[in-house]
A and B are shown apart, each in its own frame.
Chain A
Amino acid sequence: MLGYIVHRILIMIPTLIAISLVIFTIINLPPGDYFSTYIAELQSSGEAADLAKIHFLQTQYGFDRPLWEQYLFWVGGLLRGDMGYSFAYNLPVNQVVGDRLLMTFIVSFTTILFTYIVAFPIGVYSATHQYSWTDHVLTLLGFLGLATPSFLLALVLLYLANVYFGISIGGLMDPRYVNQPWSLPKALSLAAHLWIPVVVIGTAGTASMIRRLRANLLDELQKQYVVTARAKGLHPFKLLFKYPLRMALNPFISDIGSLLPHVISGAAIVSVVMSLPTTGPMLLDALRSQDMYLAGSFLVFMAFLTVIGVFVSDLALAVLDPRIRLQAGRRQ
C-alpha cells in the first residue's frame, strides 16, 4: 500500500509538467499577446492606448523573449509560489484570485449540499418504487432539470426574483454590502441572493445524480444477497441502507476527484450570466484577453487540485471497498 501511494505521488510530477506545458501552449496559440489584444480592444472603442506605457510593460515582462524562456520564467515562479502578474488588474495574481475564492467556495459548497439533499432521497425512492407513478413524475422532473439550459433558467429566476422579491439582479449580495465587513444583514443578503445560483447550478447536477443513483441501486436490488436477506426477514430499511445502498455509493466517491476543482472553479457560464463574483467569469475573461499569467496559473492550480482529488478518491475507495483493496494487493 505504501509503495502504491509513493508511486502515485511521484507520477503526479510529470503529469503536472505536461499539463503546464499544454496550458502554456494553448494560451499562446492565438495570435498576439495580452497587450495587442488590449490595444485592439481600446482602439475599437475609439480610445487611444497609452502606447508608451504598453511598450514599457511589454519589455518589462519579457514579451519580446522567446516562448521557452517565458515558459521557464513562469514555471519557475510557480515553484516558488509566485503565480505571476495579472496585466488586466495590474496586480499579482495571488491578490486577484484571493478575494474570489471564498465566494466561489460558498456557492459551490452550498450547491453540492443542495444536490445531495435533493438527489439522495429521490434517487433511493424512485429505485425502490420503480415504475410507480411517483417514480415517473420524479423522473420527468429530473429530465426537465437536465434538459433546461441553465443560463435560461438563471435569467428567468433573476427576473422573477427582482420583480416579486425585489432582489437586486446578479451578484451575490445587495450592492451596498459589497466590500463591507461581514455582518448579519450582509449574511442575510447573501442568503437571499444565494438560492438562485444554487438552484440553477444544482438542477442539472441533481438530475444526473438521481438517474445514476437509481440505476446503481436497481442493479444491486436484483442481486441474490438482497433476495436472501429479504427472505430471512431483515427489516426493509435496514436491508436497504446496510447493503445495496453502500454498494451503489462507489461512483460518488470516485466523483470526489472532479468535485475538488469544481468547488474552486464554479460554474463559469451561469456565473457570467448572473454576474457572480466567483472565479469562473474571471478565468473566462483572462482567457479571452490573454492575460496569460492569471489564466495559466489558475488553470495549473485547478489541474493540481484535480490530480490531488483523484488521488484522494482512489485512496478513499480502497479504504471503503475491500474488493478494490484486495485486488490491488494481489496485483502487486
Chain B
Amino acid sequence: MGLALVVALTLSGVSRAELQETPVFEEDVARGKLPKVDERLPKEPAIAELETIGTPGGELRMLMGGPKDTRMMVVYGYARLVGYTPSLTLMPDILKSIDVEDGRIFTLHLRNGHKWSDGHPFTSEDFRYWFEDVAQNTQLSPSGLPISMLPQGEGPRFEVLDQTTVRYSWTRPNPLFLPDLAAASPLYIYRPSHYLKQFHQKYVEKPKLDTLVKQTNQRNWAALHNRMDTMYRDDNPDLPSLEPWILRTKPPADRFVFERNPYYYRIDKAEHQLPYIDRVIFSIADGKIIPAKTGAGESDLQARYLRFDNYTFLKASEQRNGFKVKLWRTGPGSQLALYPNLNVGDEIWHGLVRDLRFRHALSLAIDRHEINQAIYFGLAVEGQNTVLPQSPLYNPEYRSAWAKFDVSEANRLLDLVGLAKRDGDGVRLLPDGRPMEIIVENSGESSEQSDVLELIRDSWRRIGIRLFAKPSQLTLFRRRVFSGETLMSIDKGIENGLATAAMSPAEFAPTSQQQLEWPKWGQYYETKGMAGEPPNLPSAIRLKELYGEWLAAVSEKEHARIWDDILRIWADEVFSIGTVAGVLQPIVVNAKLHNVPEQGNYNWDPGAYFGIYKPDGFWFDHSEMPAKSASLDASPATPQ
C-alpha cells in the first residue's frame, strides 16, 4: 500500500499537466477580474486523494433548521490547520507541514502563496494578529487565551520565524493543542488580519472607529470587532475565509448561498482546483418538516435533522425522487445512558449510588437486547457506555462488563447491599422505610428517551425497583442535576466513542460540570476549587489523576496505556449505565452525487459530520442534466 502510494505520487509529479481553469471562473479570468488559476493556488497546493476524479460544476442543496446553522458550512467544509483523515489520524491540511518537539514545541509551516478568499496573502501576520491583538486584548477576550493553550495555566511563547512559519512553545507538553485545531468547532489561532484591522482600536483612529460603531448599532469597538469576527459562526459574508465555500448571502435570510472559494488550496490529481461543486445552498425550514422535505427530493445531501425512525419513509421515496439512502454509524458511546447522580442531595440515596454493587445491579437488570430489538430493529450495538468497536482503544470486555441481562444476580447484589425488605407489591424498601422509587429525569427532547425508559421500567420492576420518567425542559433539567436534586438522569452517552489515544479522555474523568454523573466534582475541577466539591470516591480520584498523567504524557504509547487504565476503571465502576450504541444515521444522497462514502461514521468530533470525508471532493454527474446547471431554472430534481 505504502509503495503503491509513493509510485502514484511520483507518477503524478512527472506527468503533472497544466492546472485547469474552473468553468465558472473562465469569464472572470478572461476579463481580468480574477487572476489565472495557477496564480490563485498556493505554490504547493494540497493534493486530494479521491475515490473518483470528478467534473466541476453544479449546486448542492441542503436543508437547515435555522439561520444559526450557517456554521455547518464551516463544519462540513472542514478546512483546518491540521485535520483528521477518515481513519482518524491527524494530518497537516491547510498547513504544509508541522514539526512537534517533545509534545511542547510546535512549528507550523504555511503553504507558500496561500491566499484568503479575497486574494490577500495568508501569512504569519494573521497568526500574530490573533495571538497578540485578539487573544491577549482584555477587551476582545476578557477571559484570555483558550484553555487548550494553557497547560497547567501557562501560555505559550509565540514566535514569527518568517512569512510562512510560526512557532508556539510551551514549557510542558500540550496534547490538547493539535486535536483542538482539528476539532469540528476548531480553535482558530489565525484571523484575516487585513480585514479585521479596520475594526481594531490599535489600527484605526478613534473618531473613524466611533462613527463605524454607531453606524452598525454596536456598543463599542470590541463588540463591533467580535460581530465581524465570526469565523466559526460564519454569518458575515465580508469576512475572508479559507473554506471551500464562502457565504454570499447577508443574514437574515431563509436561503443561504455559499459560492466556491476561488483561492482554495486543494486540487485533485487531474489538476482541477477543488471544490468541484460551484455553489452550496442552505434552505431554512423547521427541523420537524425537514424529513418530509428531504423525502420530497428537496435536498441533495442531508443527514442533519433526520433520525433513524425516518428511514422507512425515506427509503419509500428513494425511487420517485432520485436519491439514495445510506446508513452510517453514529459516534456516541451509547445512544442513551443512565446517569446515577453521585452528588445527589438525599443522604440515603447518596450512600446507595456510591455503592458499586448497587450500580452493578441496576446495570444487570437492563435487557439491552430487548431495547435493541424493540426500538432499533436489532441494528445497534448493545453494551456499556464506552468507546466503540471502530476505536483503536476498543476492548470487547469493557463494552460487555456488567451488561448481561441477569435478574437473579441483580437481586442477589441488592440483597447484599441491605435492601432485602420489600413492601406488599414486592418493591424493595430503603433503610428508612421509603419504597425504592427512582425518578429518572430527562430533557424531554425526544420520545426515544421515554420509549427506552418504558422498557427499563419493566425489567427493573423484577428487581423490586420502581422507575418513573420525568421529562422537563433542557435548561431546567441540567440545573436540577447540577444542584443534586436529581437522583438519576438519562441522556446521550459519552460524546466521542471513536476516540484514539491522542484524543483527550476528559469525558471519563470528573473535569466538567456538564457530566451528569458527578456535576459537583466536575465543577470543582473547572473552577479550580472555587465551587463544587472535591471528588471523594477513590476510583473517581484515580480517574482524575490518570487524566492529569495523560496531559503530561508525550508518547503515543504512554497515552494509549493511560487510556486503557481509564477505560478499565470506567468499565468496572459503571459510573454511567449504557444501553445500545452505534445507532444508524440515515444519509440521503442525490443519486448523481459521487464520492460520498457508502459506509461512514456520522460523528461530531472527531468527524465534523461530513467534514472528514472532505465534501470538496464530492461531485455531480452532469451527463443527464441540462448543460446550464449554474443558472436558476436548472436547479436539479425539483419534482414537477
* Chain A interface residues (CB < 8 Å from chain B): 30-32, 36-37, 40-41, 43-48, 50-53, 55-57, 59-60, 82, 85, 88-92, 95-96, 99, 158-159, 162, 166, 168-171, 174-176, 178-180, 272-275, 277, 281, 285
Chain A nearest CB from B67 CB (Å) reads 6
In the assembled complex, the Cα of A242 lies from the Cα of B443 at a distance in Å of 61
Q: Are A170 and B66 in contact (CB under 8 A)?
A: no
Contact of A40 among B227, B475, B495, B604 (CB under 8 A): B475
Can you give 7 contacting A-B residue pairs, CB < 8 Å?
A: A50-B185, A52-B141, A52-B146, A88-B67, A159-B292, A166-B638, A168-B296
Interface string of B73-108 (1 = CB under 8 A from A): 000000000000000000000000000000000000
Q: Are B286 and A281 in contact (CB under 8 A)?
A: yes
Is residue B29 within 8 Å, beta carbon to beta carbon, of the partner chain?
A: no
Q: Are B285 and A171 in contact (CB under 8 A)?
A: yes
Q: Are A174 and B68 in contact (CB under 8 A)?
A: no
Chain B nearest CB from A325 CB (Å) reads 46
Chain B nearest CB from A173 CB (Å) reads 10
Q: Are A32 and B475 in contact (CB under 8 A)?
A: yes
Is residue B529 within 8 Å, beta carbon to beta carbon, of the partner chain?
A: no
In the assembled complex, the Cα of A185 lies from the Cα of B235 at a distance in Å of 29
Is residue B115 within 8 Å, beta carbon to beta carbon, of the partner chain?
A: no
Contacts A175-B61, A275-B286: A36 and B252 contacting too (C-beta < 8 A)?
no
Q: Are B475 and A37 in contact (CB under 8 A)?
A: yes
Instruction: Tell me what chain B mostly uses at the interface: helix, strand, loop, or mixed.
Output: loop
Q: Chain B: which residue is nearest A288 at the CB level?
A: B473
Is residue B184 within 8 Å, beta carbon to beta carbon, of the partner chain?
A: yes
Contact of B443 among A44, A92, A158, A274 (CB under 8 A): A44
User: B residues within 8 A CB of A180?
Assistant: 632
Contact of B255 among A88, A96, A169, A175 (CB under 8 A): A175
In the assembled complex, the Cα of A44 lies from the Cα of B495 at a distance in Å of 10
The tally of CB-CB contacts under 8 A between chains A and B is 129
User: A residues within 8 A CB of B492?
Assistant: 44, 46
Contact of A95 among B143, B252, B604, B632 (CB under 8 A): B252
Most chain B CB within 10 A, of A45, A47, A92, is at: A47
Q: Are B638 and A168 in contact (CB under 8 A)?
A: yes
Q: Chain B: which residue is nearest A162 at the CB level?
A: B296
Q: Are A178 and B289 in contact (CB under 8 A)?
A: no
Q: Which 3 A-B pairs have the closest CB atoms?
A: A178-B255, A275-B286, A275-B285
Q: Are A179 and B475 in contact (CB under 8 A)?
A: no
Is residue B433 within 8 Å, beta carbon to beta carbon, of the partner chain?
A: no
Q: Chain B: which residue is nearest A53 at the CB level?
A: B226
Interface string of B244-255 (1 = CB under 8 A from A): 000001011111
Residues of B262-291 contacting chain A, CB below 8 A = 281, 283, 285-286, 288-289
User: A residues within 8 A CB of B286?
Assistant: 170, 272-273, 275, 281
User: A residues within 8 A CB of B230?
Assistant: 90
Q: Chain B: which residue is nearest A82 at the CB level?
A: B217
Is residue B301 within 8 Å, beta carbon to beta carbon, of the partner chain?
A: no
Contact of A90 among B66, B233, B640 (CB under 8 A): B233
Chain B nearest CB from A257 CB (Å) reads 30
In the assembled complex, the Cα of A162 lies from the Cα of B296 at a distance in Å of 7
Is residue B50 within 8 Å, beta carbon to beta carbon, of the partner chain?
A: no
User: A residues within 8 A CB of B144?
Assistant: 52
Q: Chain B: which residue is nearest A90 at the CB level?
A: B235
Q: Are B474 and A171 in contact (CB under 8 A)?
A: no
User: A residues within 8 A CB of B232?
Assistant: 50
Q: Are A51 and B143 in contact (CB under 8 A)?
A: yes
Q: Are A170 and B219 in contact (CB under 8 A)?
A: no
Is residue B367 within 8 Å, beta carbon to beta carbon, of the partner chain?
A: no
In the assembled complex, the Cα of A16 lies from the Cα of B217 at a distance in Å of 26
User: A residues within 8 A CB of B233?
Assistant: 90
In the assembled complex, the Cα of A252 lies from the Cα of B235 at a distance in Å of 46
Is residue B445 within 8 Å, beta carbon to beta carbon, of the partner chain?
A: yes
Q: Are A46 and B604 in contact (CB under 8 A)?
A: yes
Q: Chain B: which residue is nearest A180 at the CB level?
A: B632
Is residue B479 within 8 Å, beta carbon to beta carbon, of the partner chain?
A: yes
Q: Chain B: which residue is nearest A43 at the CB level?
A: B514
Is residue B53 within 8 Å, beta carbon to beta carbon, of the partner chain?
A: no
Contacts A31-B476, A275-B286: A56 and B142 contacting too (C-beta < 8 A)?
yes
User: B residues within 8 A CB of A174?
Assistant: 638
Q: Are A179 and B632 in contact (CB under 8 A)?
A: no
Q: A99-B252, A168-B298 are in contact. List 5 more A-B contacts (CB 8 A).
A: A43-B514, A52-B144, A52-B146, A179-B254, A272-B288
User: A residues within 8 A CB of B257?
Assistant: 179
Q: Are A169 and B289 in contact (CB under 8 A)?
A: yes
